[in-house]
Amino acid sequence: MVTEDGGKRSARVRGSKAYALATRRAKSYLEQPAKLKSLVAAAGSKAEARSGPLAAIMGPVKDGLRLVRAYANGSYRDISWQSLLMLVAAVVYFVMPVDLVPDFLLGFGLLDDAAIMGWTLRTLSRDLESFRAWEAATAPPRPDASDDAVTPEDPPAAQ
């Protein structure tokens, strides 16, 4: 859920020079799959190490990172260029050491990261939903827990 302050913050961030720089860098990353994979890895590490404002959107953030990784490795392409650019720009902004409010300012810097990431994820919610459905349909089958049960036909374990 976005508060009025969060909505204003994301609008301010989207209009910033830092976000414009993130968008330009995102275009460069999208042209180089190896760099894009490195970006996703860096964002994943940063996301795992954070809490606070990002905690509430961590599930969708991870979904977005998996989508970008799947795009980078060529397995997922069912997303428009504009949507992908927006998502990668948000990831670049999140990873950038200097953005509108530096992260080292005791959590305040994470507010703008969370605002732009939250706005992007809400805007791309249908794209993320489609990706999750694709991911579920293409995931290898998980063994059923009942497959692990010992049946009377199974020989007893050696002791």
The rounded radius of gyration (Å) of the Cα atoms in the chain is: 19
Measured distance CA(97)–CA(140) in Å, rounded: 37
**pTM for this entry:** 0.75
- Residue 143 gets which letter from DSSP? P
154/121 Cα distance (integer angstroms): 49
Query: Phi-psi region for residue 79, left (φ > 0), alpha (ψ -120 to 50) or beta?
Result: beta
User: 106 pLDDT band (50/70/90 cuts)?
Assistant: very low
Contacts of 21 (CB under 8 A, 6+ apart): 96
Q: Distance of CA 157 to CAs 88, 144, 154, Å?
A: 52, 21, 9
Reply yes or no on whether the pLDDT at 80 is more than 70.
Answer: yes
* Res. 63 pLDDT band, cuts 50 70 90: very high
Distance CA 152, CA 102 (A): 63
